[in-house]
Amino acid sequence: MELSYTLLDQAVRILGCPCRAQESMSRHTTFQIGGPADRFITVETPAQLKGLVKVLKEQELPYLLLGKGSNLLVSDKGIRGAVLSLSGDFKGVEALPGGLVRAGAAASLAAVCAFARDRGLSGLEFAWGIPGSVGGAAYMDAGAYGGEMRDVVERVHHLTPEGEEGSAAGEELQFDYRKSRYTGGRDIITFVDFRLTPGDPAQIGAQMEELMNRRKSKQPYDMPSAGSVFKRPKEGFAAALIEECGLKGLRAGGAQVSEKHCGFIVNTGGATCADVLALIEEIRKVVLEKKGILLETEVRMTGEA
């Protein structure tokens, strides 16, 4: 079905949102992979977001919310519909009374971690170095080194597909391993409130640097990737299973199982989505044959099949 963008383009101009047609998603994902999005719209205020969601719903146009693109694999054919990239107001970070920190969904985890450290607030040290946005982290309960978003998130604010503001807290968030109430849903995360505890800025900073050094020593920070490709299975660790199966360095086109960390697939140059998918399927097949364990993907796949 041919999609019509006439009214959306008109709304974009009225709302004052920067918009590009046929924008390559390889420019907006950490994998540096992905075909063109029909419309790539930068959204800077809650009012703009409400206006766009209203038009998108009325026109029955599909849309994707984009954070840092750090856990995303986009089809080589690209994305039909609109990609909404939050910016402006959604990148802000502020201190609230009672040890709370509110961050926009588009704020980088690095920015929030540094904000907390500089104000002597502890709890987010584990997230230093996770290359994602606040919204994406809450969406998938991101975690590392024994810490997860569920440990520090107090409340998540969102916009429903009907354009209504809402929020969720506590058990309503339905946090579980790499998922939340928002995973697979249509509510748009706009802001996240973190509950942190007082600490010594120097000690907080030292712990952050220690974890960052561990990351850099073990993970392929120097090559494009989407982070950990597979979820942690109940029977051990995906990276160890992949290495034990002799798959370190395995390639499909420009995609390769990282020589540094087998839980990562890296883009060695010119890798396509098809390359990555072929490599994922080969890894899953071999690990199942040799270990009897079916690996589940953690990376989110989207776009036209």
Domains delineated in the chain:
6-86 (3.30.43.10), 92-204 (3.30.465.10), 220-302 (3.90.78.10)
Using alpha carbons, select from 179, 226, 192, 189 the residue that is nearest to residue 28.
Answer: 226
Model's pTM, two decimal places? 0.92
Using alpha carbons, select from 279, 241, 277 the residue that is nearest to residue 262.
Answer: 241
CA 264 to CA 262: how far, in whole Å? 5
Here the tokens at position 257 are: 């199982």
Whether 298 is catalytic? yes
Alpha helices, DSSP H, located in the chain: 6-15, 46-58, 109-118, 134-139, 201-218, 238-244, 273-291
Q: Of residues 39, 80, 117, 178, which has the active-site annotation?
A: 178
The beta-strand segments (E) located in the chain are 19-24, 36-43, 63-66, 72-74, 79-86, 93-96, 100-104, 121-122, 143-144, 147-148, 153-159, 165-169, 188-195, 197-198, 225-228, 251-252, 255-257, 264-267, 300-302
Q: Of residues 122, 180, 228, 258, which has the active-site annotation?
A: 228
Whether 228 is catalytic? yes
Using alpha carbons, select from 125, 104, 90, 294 the residue that is nearest to residue 197.
Answer: 125
pLDDT in tens, the chain (305 residues): 678 999 999 999 999 999 999 999 999 999 999 999 999 999 999 999 999 999 999 999 999 999 888 889 999 999 999 999 999 999 999 999 888 999 999 999 999 999 999 999 999 999 998 888 999 999 999 888 888 999 999 999 999 999 999 999 999 999 998 899 999 889 999 999 999 999 999 999 999 999 888 888 888 888 999 989 999 998 889 999 999 999 999 999 999 999 999 999 999 999 999 999 999 999 999 999 999 999 999 999 999 97
